[in-house]
Amino acid sequence: MRVKSHIWVSAYLRRLDAAFIPGALVRHGDADAGAIYIKVAALDGTAQVFAPLSSQFAEMAPAGTLFVEDGRAWQPIYTPHAAEAEADAYLERQASRDPDIWILEVETPQGRHMLGATAAAVS
């Protein structure tokens, strides 16, 4: 059984705060099962977006491109980054298709997003 979205979001934002990484809730989604999108702003006009990935597709993802945590998986949308306006437009399109999604934003020039066991940085 997967943790409800609102609990996961709260814990993730607290973990970012504990690591002194600014993180914010941009869009509140369905409390129980809303998909969670994470935008990592590099503060140089570029950003990365991590989109939720179904566990059935997680096994097919190339090594090093998937971040798994608490039964949830994310895959980066852009390699390595996109213009921040492009990332925002992508998230707006997703929100228009699914009003239940959550959108979180992390601000870090180092790409530290704290997803996955290693809290890997995005190159």
Q: What is the CATH number of the domain that holds 59?
A: 3.40.1530.20
| Structure tokens that stand for 62 in this block | 């190339």
What's the pLDDT band for 66 if we cut at 50, 70, 90? Answer: low
Domain assignment present for 116: no
The β-bridge partners of 76 are 50
Domain assignment present for 61: yes
Domain of residue 58, residue span:
5-107
Cβ atoms of residues 44 and 109 within 8 Å: yes
pLDDT score of 69: 67
What's the pLDDT band for 20 if we cut at 50, 70, 90? Answer: very high
29: nearest Cα among 104, 90, 85: 104
- Mean per-residue pLDDT, 68-91: 86
pLDDT score of 4: 92
Domain assignment present for 40: yes
Largest CA distance in the chain: 39
Domain assignment present for 118: no
pLDDT score of 2: 78
Domain assignment present for 72: yes
pLDDT score of 74: 83
**Number of structural domains the chain divides into:** 1
pLDDT score of 123: 36
Domain assignment present for 122: no
Higher pLDDT, 50 or 65: 50
Domain assignment present for 68: yes
Domain assignment present for 115: no
pLDDT score of 119: 43
- Mean per-residue pLDDT, 3-12: 93
